[in-house]
Every structure is written in structure tokens, then in C-alpha cells.
Amino acid sequence: MPEDDLQEDARHAHQDAPLPEKKKSDLRREVEAALAEKGISVERRITVINLDTKETSYFDDYHQALQFMKGRKGRWYLATPGMRRM
């Protein structure tokens, strides 16, 4: 049984290990620079907007955004990552 516990611990340790940071390709950097010259930026976060009060919050993933919205009243809009004017 101790061997099973070690395998289980190793499996969880692998799941909890941080992911390596993504590196941008030269092409991606070139495209983002061209967009920036035109006044357009790439928004990587999830945006949650209250349509009544214009309250705006940003999140790194959908789970965080949904947790934030849980139990809130009013009309809310969840915007996916994308491009926006600067």
C-alpha cells in the first residue's frame, strides 16, 4: 500500500506543478506591434461588465469570472478575450 500512496502523491505533485510561461512567436510580436500602431490592443483577460452601472471587472479565467458573478443581481455581460481599441 505505501507504494500506491507514493504513486498517488507523485500524480498530484505533477498536477500542481506550475506550467511554463508561454513565449510569443516573432510573428505574434509583429502582429501585436502592427495592431498597437493602429490603436488596437489584444485583451487576454475575461471582462465582466454590469450593463446597468457600467461596473467592469477583469479575470484571468472563466472560473474566476463565474465565481465573481455568482449571486449578483442585474444585467451582466461576460466578454471573451479579444481585441479592443486603446
Q: What is the pLDDT of residues 11-34, one digit of tens each?
A: 555 566 676 777 778 887 887 788
- Is the confidence at residue 67, as pLDDT, over 90? yes
Q: Is residue 50 part of a domain?
A: yes
The pLDDT value recorded for residue 31 is 79
What does the alpha-carbon distance between residue 20 and residue 69 come to, in Å, rounded to a whole number? 30
What does the alpha-carbon distance between residue 40 and residue 85 come to, in Å, rounded to a whole number? 4
When divided into structural domains, the chain yields a total of 1
Q: Is residue 28 part of a domain?
A: no
- Whole domain around residue 78: which residue ranges? 41-86
The separation between the first and the last C-alpha atoms of the chain, rounded to the nearest angstrom, is: 59
Neighbours of 65 (CB within 10 A): 20
pTM of the complete model beyond 0.85: no
Taking a C-beta distance cutoff of 8 angstroms, is the pair 57, 68 a contact?
yes
Closest CA to 79 of 51, 53, 52: 51
